[in-house]
Amino acid sequence: MTHDSDGKASMTERKLNRGGGRPLWKQLQEELVRRLRAGEFDDVFPGELALVEDYQVSRHTVRQALSQLRADGLIVAERGRQPRVATAPEIRQPMGALYSLFSSVEASGLNQHSVVRALDLRADGVIASRLGLEASIPLVYLERVRFAGDEPLALDRVWLPAAVAESLLEADFSHTSLYAELAARTGLRLDHGREDIRAVNPTSAERALLHCPAGAAVFSINRLAHAQGRPLEWRHTVVRGDRFALAAEFSAHQGYRLTPATGSSLA
């Protein structure tokens, strides 16, 4: 049972699955994220005792769930004060350099990891032509969902010529940088490139993978990067627009100036 703004009892019941083997705190955390994304807490976030009553769980269970929400930057909970919804965590990326999504996420204070959806050899005539290769040339393909905290941030797809990058098939990309692995295994480092960035509506599959809020747009980023005078990487990344921003600097004297990214050799 919960209470409305006038203090009157309502019959809303909130239940967790106590027989499925999944920790109650994790179920509660996921339920609170769902309600937060739906806008239920825009006015006020419930306190610990209210959550204990609503979900019929222990205070320890509630505190574990709230601790994860704090770690993910979704709520702010100061000692002695009721939790409140935080401004959505934003990963800010300077433009104009070969940047690191890996480094940008960790610089924001959120832990990053990836779920690898594909890592294999394949042929793709369209991508091969973008890399200046014959259509039948085998390519190393890596597809990952990139996480910032406990929430997805980006869907990342990368193609590289197998002739130089086949050793990457042995790498574990769940928590490592592609460019760091490329340098360690092949000695190659990207030295320049071009990106095209557009704001688009995600497909239904992308929206589901990235847990995009209803109506939120994404950044669609295509990158062609070179090393030692030849194209080496074609990358397509879809990034949640509510969690990611691009930044550049300008002044009256210098005009528009793109800002190099710190640690820009890793991605």
CATH number at residue 9: 1.10.10.10
Residues 140 and 192 in one domain: yes
pLDDT tens for each residue of 68-126:
888 776 787 666 677 888 665 456 665 655 556 666 676 666 778 899 999 999 999 99
Only one residue has tokens 């990963």, namely: 91
Gap between the Cα atoms of 51 and 36, Å rounded = 14
Residues in CB range of 173: below 8 A, 6 or more apart:
114, 116, 119, 142, 144, 181
CATH code of residue 114: 3.40.1410.10
Q: Which of 28-42, 54-68, 82-96 has the lowest mean pLDDT?
A: 82-96
Mean pLDDT of the chain: 82
Q: Which of 39, 69, 85 is the last residue of a domain?
A: 85
The count of domains in the chain is 2
105 with 153: CB under 8 angstroms? yes
φ and ψ at 120, to 5 degrees? -160, 180
Residues 190 and 98 in one domain: yes
Which among 15-24, 70-79, 144-153, 222-231 has the top mean pLDDT? 222-231
Residue 1 predicted with pLDDT over 90 = no
227 with 189: CB under 8 angstroms? yes
Gap between the Cα atoms of 252 and 238, Å rounded = 33
Gap between the Cα atoms of 30 and 36, Å rounded = 10
Residues 20 and 68 in one domain: yes
Residue 105 structural domain:
91-257
Asked, for residue 264, whether it belongs to a domain, the answer is no
Token code pair at residue 236: 């397509």
| Overall pTM > 0.85 | no
Residues 30 and 60 in one domain: yes
pLDDT tens for each residue of 127-142:
999 999 999 999 999 9
Asked, for residue 75, whether it belongs to a domain, the answer is yes
CA 188 and chain centroid, separation: 26
Gap between the Cα atoms of 174 and 195, Å rounded = 24
| Size (the chain), residues | 267
pLDDT tens for each residue of 164-217:
999 999 999 998 889 889 999 999 998 888 888 899 999 999 999 999 877 788
Only one residue has tokens 């290769």, namely: 133
Residues 6 and 133 in one domain: no
Measured in Å, how far apart are the chain's first and last C-alpha atoms? 48
Residues 77 and 199 in one domain: no
Asked, for residue 220, whether it belongs to a domain, the answer is yes
Residues 252 and 213 in one domain: yes
Gap between the Cα atoms of 30 and 150, Å rounded = 10
φ and ψ at 108, to 5 degrees? -80, -5
Residues 50 and 131 in one domain: no
Which among 38-42, 80-84, 100-104, 262-266 has the top mean pLDDT? 38-42
DSSP β-bridge partners for residue 195: 223
Residues 173 and 61 in one domain: no
Residues 105 and 216 in one domain: yes
Asked, for residue 159, whether it belongs to a domain, the answer is yes
3-state secondary structure of 146: strand
Q: In terms of pLDDT, which residue wins out, 62 or 76? A: 62
Percent share of the chain, pLDDT over 90? 47
Residue type, 209: L
Q: In terms of pLDDT, which residue wins out, 29 or 99? A: 29
Residues 112 and 188 in one domain: yes
Residues 153 and 64 in one domain: no
**DSSP string across 96-161:** SS---HHHHHHHTT--EEEEEEEEEEE--HHHHHHTT--TT--EEEEEEEEEETTEEEEEEEEEEE
Residue type, 1: M
Residues in CB range of 14: below 8 A, 6 or more apart:
2, 31, 54, 55
Gap between the Cα atoms of 19 and 148, Å rounded = 30
